[in-house]
Amino acid sequence: MSAETPAGAETPAGADAPATADTPATPGRPGIDVPDRRGRTGLDRTGLDLTGNPRVKVLDVTLLSSNWYVTRTTRFEFEHSDGHRSIEERETYDRGNGATILLHDTARRTVLLIRQFRYPAYVNGHPDGNLLELPAGLLDEDEPEAAIRREAREETGYDIGEVEHVFDAYMSPGSITEKLFFFAAPYRSEERADAGGGLADEGEDIELVELGIDDALARIGDDIIDAKTIMLLQWAALRGPFAA
């Protein structure tokens, strides 16, 4: 008999049994009541305080995984346009928000892209998984502009000057929470500070690719099939630095 539990007393329903020599304490749940590998807790409470849409009431959140990014299942009550209400369930993948940038040289009519291996594309049918795309990365704890300056230096070797915030977009809002912040900035080939190429300790192996803007636009749908890259190239041609 446990010293903390009087004789005849019952453990309340749903409570963890007290630890004894024969029954060890119930371990904490990483990401919920003890830190996960990135030091996070309370990941099962995200969304419970949402009040912006009166037609939506979040009921409960289940943490499925927080190995690095976070996968949750959320149940919510939803009021349809005809007034009836239903209980819906959605699985979301939360990797944080990110930023991307188009580096351009209007005098030479060139843009800077990178080529790197993307396993999700490879496993989903891309011939070799090596994609042509724009520099990009997650914000982590930084503001969007600070984050994209960091990523541009790491991946391309350029310390960029004045940055233009172009627009923001949700890239796959049916299941992924990420908002991407889009930027553009000029570069000059003689101003490259180092070789770039990404961070070796993050497994990055990045090749810098300079293309003429007309060549880059012509490659859309061929070997440029990354959404953020297509969006910023088309913005550059229609409304940005290469607009007629």
For 15, the token pair is 């409570």
Contact (CB, 8 A) for 84 and 77: no
Residue 78 pairs in a beta bridge with 56, 86
136 is annotated as contributing to ligand binding: yes
89 is annotated as contributing to ligand binding: no
CA distance 160 to 155: 12
191 is annotated as contributing to ligand binding: no
155 is annotated as contributing to ligand binding: yes
CA distance 154 to 221: 27
At residue 104's C-alpha, the angle toward residues 99 and 109, to 5°, is 150
At residue 118's C-alpha, the angle toward residues 174 and 114, to 5°, is 110
Q: Annotated binding site for Mg(2+): which residue ranges?
A: 136, 151, 155, 204
Q: Annotated binding site: which residue ranges?
A: 136, 151, 155, 204
